[in-house]
């Protein structure tokens, strides 16, 4: 594939609803990251997948957030019972492997607005 | 918490001028990376500098690293309007494979 893709590009939802955000990483990339970026802020790490290993969930802000990666490729980030403070741009990135020396390739992000 | 912090938060210059932005960090690092984020787009990797390197160049970009001061600088020479973007540093420390990003420097280059 050409790059990391994310869908939807924009999502508006009502408080209390569940949302699912999708990430398609670059083919062959074994490492996949989810970040959250609030307006004017840096990137906040959420969760990391590497191959078939157990994911690093240390950045998830609450138990309303979960993510899975099926078949070592596509990943879905789920936010249950959304709150207004969940409004942000959710960015997905992939890299060739788990080494921190590898460049991360980012998707365009999903802008989530919780009304 | 943020590991890297960029300075200044915002920078406004004229086309043709040089732009310098800095990144300071708290703990020892394995490497430091700079990324650019254009309005409405994802982040793009610019350059990676390892902890045993002091300077690196890529086109109009020059990155320096001073591990004794725990700081890095990104210099963009002969800036262009298309360089208008936010610039982030990301650091990786110890055994962590998860880069930690700062809040970024917002650069505006006026044509």
Q: For the segment B5-23, what is each residue's pLDDT rounded down to a tens digit?
A: 888 999 999 999 999 999 9
List pLDDT tens digits, range B37-96. 987 667 999 999 999 999 999 999 999 999 999 999 999 999 999 999 999 999 988 777
A5-32 mean pLDDT: 96
Residue B2 has pLDDT above 70, yes or no: no
Residue with the larger pLDDT of the pair A97 and A3: A3
Q: What is the pLDDT of residues A67-83, one digit of tens each?
A: 999 887 999 999 999 99
Supply the pLDDT for residue A1.
52
Query: Cα separation of A6 and A110, whole Å?
Result: 7
**Chain center to CA of B17:** 17
Are B101 and A104 within 8 A, CB to CB? no
Q: Which of A33, A42, A108 is closest, CB to CB, to B88? A: A42
Mutate one of B88, B98, B101, B104 to test the A interface: name it (highest A CB count within 10 A).
Answer: B98
> Which of B 22-41 lie inside 8 A of A, CB atoms?
30-31, 33, 35, 41
CB neighbour class for B96 (10 Å; exposed up to 12, middle 13-18, buried from 19): middle
Q: With 60 as the cut, is the pLDDT of residue B1 above it?
A: no
């Amino acid at each position: 594939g050409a790059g990391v893709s994310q869908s939807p590009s924009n999502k508006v939802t009502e408080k209390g609803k569940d949302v699912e955000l999708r990430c398609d990483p670059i083919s062959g990339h074994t490492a996949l990251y989810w970040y959250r970026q609030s307006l004017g802020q840096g990137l906040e790490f959420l969760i990391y997948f590497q191959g078939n290993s157990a994911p690093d969930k240390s950045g998830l802000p609450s138990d309303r957030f979960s993510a899975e990666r099926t078949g070592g490729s596509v990943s879905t980030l789920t936010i249950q019972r959304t709150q207004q403070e969940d409004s942000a741009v959710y960015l997905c990135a992939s890299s060739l492997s788990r080494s921190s020396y590898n460049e991360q390739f980012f998707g365009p992000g999903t802008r989530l607005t919780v009304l | 918490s943020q590991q890297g912090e960029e300075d200044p938060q915002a920078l406004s210059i004229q086309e043709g001028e040089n732009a310098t932005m800095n990144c300071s960090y708290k703990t020892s690092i394995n490497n430091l990376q700079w990324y650019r984020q254009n309005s409405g787009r994802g982040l793009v990797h610019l350059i990676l500098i390892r902890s045993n390197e002091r300077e690196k160049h890529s086109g109009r970009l020059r990155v320096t690293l001073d591990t004794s001061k725990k700081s890095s600088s990104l210099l963009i020479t002969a800036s262009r309007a298309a360089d208008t973007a936010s610039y982030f540093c990301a650091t990786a420390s110890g055994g962590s494979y998860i880069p930690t990003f700062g809040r970024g420097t917002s650069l505006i280059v006026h044509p």
